[in-house]
């Protein structure tokens, strides 16, 4: 393989794994997802690249679904089987918080454990079904995304239902949006990763 072929190979966009998406077609969320997908069709679409050796943490918001037996095991198997199709990816662990909807982020123990593993460089890609699994407060999700993206190396989050990858190039400006900026007097709290981990448990 000559230098040009190597260069072209390095710049190919790898096919991303396809996770199943299930949502109510008549909901407001469905309308917003549809609009977002139409927008994505008009740009160069980006998802986590299967050629990058990601260490993957799967975050699940679980509640008892009576019509399915062993639903959690089935859900985990779906994730594991999909990630197994990506030989460069390593499934680190499943992080499961119970509850039909996201509580305050600080009381989600498994989400906190996942963030700690990100700051310990055990995980550099989080995959979860939807944004509301993490928090119903947009600023909390945005703040976490910005802190993780600022790490070296950065950690991304992929939200399946919304088809959002926080490290995609077209979200970089959003991550810098001053609307979500920390107040100046609070910035010293984030000088090192140990202090960030401590805040996650306060």
According to CATH, the topology of domain 46-200 is Rossmann fold (3.40.50)
Domain boundaries, the chain: 46-200
Contact status, residue 155 vs residue 118, Cβ threshold 8 Å: yes
Question: Is residue 26 pLDDT above 50, yes or no?
Answer: yes
CA distance 54 to 83: 10
Other Cβ atoms less than 10 A from the Cβ of 124: the count is 22
Peptide bond into 153 cis (omega under 30): yes
Q: What is the pLDDT of residues 65-100, one digit of tens each?
A: 556 677 888 889 999 999 999 999 999 999 999 876
Whole-angstrom CA distances from 151 to 57, 89, 98, 173 are 16, 19, 28, 16
Strands (E), 42-173: 55-62, 90-98, 125-128, 156-159, 164-165
Encoded tokens for 177: 């949006």
Model-wide pTM > 0.75:
no
């Amino acid at each position: 393989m000559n230098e040009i072929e190597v260069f072209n190979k390095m710049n190919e966009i790898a096919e991303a794994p396809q996770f199943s998406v299930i949502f109510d077609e008549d909901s407001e969320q469905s309308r917003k997802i549809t609009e977002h997908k139409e927008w994505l069709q008009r740009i160069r679409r980006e998802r986590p690249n299967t050629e990058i050796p990601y260490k993957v943490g799967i975050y699940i918001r679980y509640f008892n679904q009576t019509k399915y037996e062993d639903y959690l095991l089935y859900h985990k198997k779906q994730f594991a089987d999909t990630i197994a199709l990506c030989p460069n990816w390593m499934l680190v662990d499943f992080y499961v918080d119970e509850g039909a909807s996201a509580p305050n982020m600080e009381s989600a123990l498994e989400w906190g454990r996942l963030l700690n593993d990100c700051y310990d460089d055990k995980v550099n890609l989080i995959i979860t079904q939807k944004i509301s699994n993490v928090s119903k407060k947009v600023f909390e999700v945005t703040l976490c995304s910005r802190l993780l993206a600022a790490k070296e190396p950065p950690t991304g989050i992929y939200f399946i239902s919304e088809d959002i990858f926080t490290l995609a190039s077209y979200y970089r400006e959003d991550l810098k949006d001053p609307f979500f900026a920390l107040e100046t007097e609070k910035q010293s709290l984030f000088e090192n990763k140990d202090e960030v981990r401590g805040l996650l448990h306060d």
